[in-house]
Homo-oligomer: A and B are copies of this chain.
Amino acid sequence: MSQHRHPGAPGRAGAVPALPDLPEATVARLPEYLRALHNLADAGHETVSSEGLSAAAGVNSAKLRKDLSHLGSYGTRGVGYDVALLIEQIEYVLGLTQRRAVALVGVGNLGHALAGYDGFASRGFRIAALLDADPSRVGEEINGLVVRHVDDLPTVAAEESLAIGVIATPAAAAQQVADQLVAVGVTSILNFAPCVLSVPEGVDVRKVDLAIELQILSFHEHRKASLTALPATGGTALTALPGGFAATDTQEAIGT
């Protein structure tokens, strides 16, 4: 694992932007801000304060300001942020100015739902191909796209510049599919199969695992239950939560 630290990189002078290297935590929040901004834009707002935007995105306002400052932001003191401009900035940084092509592999139960999901199109992506290994599924048309055989992947990749591969096959097939995706040049993979993927350096994998999310919630349920179950005699005040946990991905008790 090569680790390079690059402190300065202050070259934010140009009108057309250089890519700052953002903290990963910031990158993970930018999409949230973007969604909130789109909502605000639709509602007719032209500017928004960090307070307002952070509330809409469900984060702390100082954190939001720091995040935006990382991308050399364009706020105006005393006023706030220009909604349209900020949308443009964030979309640029996230690389959404080009509509990225997504290949979806595994058109089963989940794959069907994904194929029919309009959130792809509305958030900067385009399903370029549906692929499956099951011959009886090949040829099926979903949402205007015909399912092709996964072995056609090289052909598909030749036709389109695939940016992202989505794996929605059973876990047993996921590694093989990942290898096939990597072989045709895909360097970003979203994996729905509950398994760890091995990929070469330079390839990014993110996973979505429903059961993991549920189990994390289960832990907190268990914990909450074990707190309430404390004997009343001498029980410590449990209304004042001991800490409250805020996880990377957990929102709790967002006030109204």
Contact = CB atoms under 8 A, between A and B. Distances in A.
Contact of A215 (B34, B114, B237): B34
A30 interface: yes
A151 interface: no
Interface residues of A, number: 104
Contacts of A215: 30-31, 34, 94, 96, 123-124
Contacts of A4: 241-244
A57 B198 CA distance: 11
A200 B253 contact: yes
B254 A218 contact: no
A220 B188 contact: yes
B220 A204 contact: yes
Contact of A123 (B24, B214, B220): B214
Interface in A199-228: 199-226
Contacts of A205: 250-252
Nearest to A12: B239
Copy number in this complex? 2
Contacts of A211: 31, 35, 119-120, 123-125
A248 B114 CA distance: 24
Interface string A29-46: 011101110000000000
A11 to B, nearest CB: 5
Contacts of A35: 194-195, 211
B94 A210 contact: no
A58 B256 CA distance: 39
B236 A16 contact: yes
A2 interface: yes
Nearest to A205: B251
A213 B109 CA distance: 20
Contacts of A254: 196-199
Nearest to A119: B211
B58 A239 contact: no
28 contacts: A1-B253, A4-B241, A4-B242, A4-B244, A16-B236, A18-B237, A18-B239, A19-B223, A19-B226, A27-B247, A30-B215, A31-B215, A31-B216, A94-B218, A95-B221, A100-B221, A109-B117, A124-B215, A188-B220, A188-B221, A197-B251, A198-B254, A201-B253, A204-B220, A205-B251, A206-B251, A207-B251, A208-B208
